[in-house]
Chains A and B, each alone.
Chain A
Amino acid sequence: MSNLIKEIKNLPYTAVSHSNMLWNKTGSWRHIKPYYENKIAHCTSRCPCGNNIAEFILSASQGEFQKGYEIIKMTSPLPGVCGRVCYHPCETYCNRGEFDEPIAIQMIERFLADYMSDKGRIIPEIAERKNKRVAVIGSGPAGLSCTYHLALKGYSVILFEAYEKPGGMLRYGIPSYRLPKDVLDREIKDILDAGIELKTNTRLGNDFSLDNLEEYDAVYLAIGSNKSRSLGLSGESADGVFSGLEFLERVNSGEMVKLGKKVIVVGGGNTAIDTARCALRCGSEVTVVYRRSRNEMPAWQEDVDDALEEGIKLVFLTSPTEILFEGGIFKGIRCQKMELGEPDQSGRRRPIPIKGSDFTIRGNNIIVSIGEEPEISFLNESFEVKDKKVVTDFGGFSGVRKVFVGGDLVYKSSATVASAIGSGKSGAESIDFFLRNEEIKAKEEQKITEFEDLNIDYFSPAGKIVLSKSDVNERVKDFSEIVRGVSSEEVIYESERCFSCGLCTVCDNCLIFCPDMAVKRKDTGYEIDYDYCKGCGICFEECPRNVISLEREIKYNGNKRKRKKNK
Chain B
Amino acid sequence: MIEIRIHGRGGQGVVVASKVLAMGFFVEGKYVQSFPFFGAERQGAPVAAFVRADDKKIHLRCKIYNPDYLIVLDQNLPFEINLTEGLKKGGIVIINSTKEPGRYNISSDFKVFTVDAGSVASKYGIGTKELPIVNTAILGAFCRITNLVNINSLKKAIKEFAPLKKKENAEAAIEIYNSINNV
**Direct A–B contact present (CB less than 8 angstroms):** no
Instruction: Give B residues with C-beta under 8 Å from A.
Output: none
Instruction: Give A residues with C-beta under 8 Å from B.
Output: none
